[in-house]
Amino acid sequence: MDRLTEKNSLAFNFSARATLPVGAGLGSSASFSVCAATAVLLLLRHINIPKPPASSDPSTGYIDVSHQGRRALPLALAQDVNHWAFMSEKILHGNPSGVDNSVAVFGGALAYTRPGFAKKSGMEVIQGSVPDLSLLFTSAGA
């Protein structure tokens, strides 16, 4: 990570547009932060795009990208992206829990408790199988 903190850093502009509602609690800032962190790390050549997995169906070339116990990114690469996405979330929100960016990078389900409650503070992976859910989100406008 030393290359990322050098004073002779490269300057660039980064812009994005999204149609996700802001402030709706859907983790859109964390998703943006993960994308921005990945783009910057790629631009600075701190990380490389991993090779795609082998085809799940050789006759069609289809690649099954569901997690099913596998990681979409190598762990070290995912940890770097998560670290810098969390830094972005700190700029955007001040004191984020880190849950949204962690779920955006690693997937799965996490539970978070802030300090001061009866339970130990921090993130815990929700163990066991999390059922697939079909959800419909609507915006009531505001």
Q: Please give the positions annotated as active site.
A: 100
Beta-strand pair 110-113/122-125: antiparallel
List of residues 6+ apart from 77 with CB closer than 8 A? 47, 50
Is the Cβ–Cβ distance between 51 and 78 less than 8 Å?
no
Torsion of CA 28, 85, 89, 20, to 10 degrees: -10
Chain centre distance of CA 103 = 6
38 closest CA partner among 71, 77, 66, 70: 77
**CB burial class (10 A; 0-12, 13-18, 19+) of residue 17?**
exposed
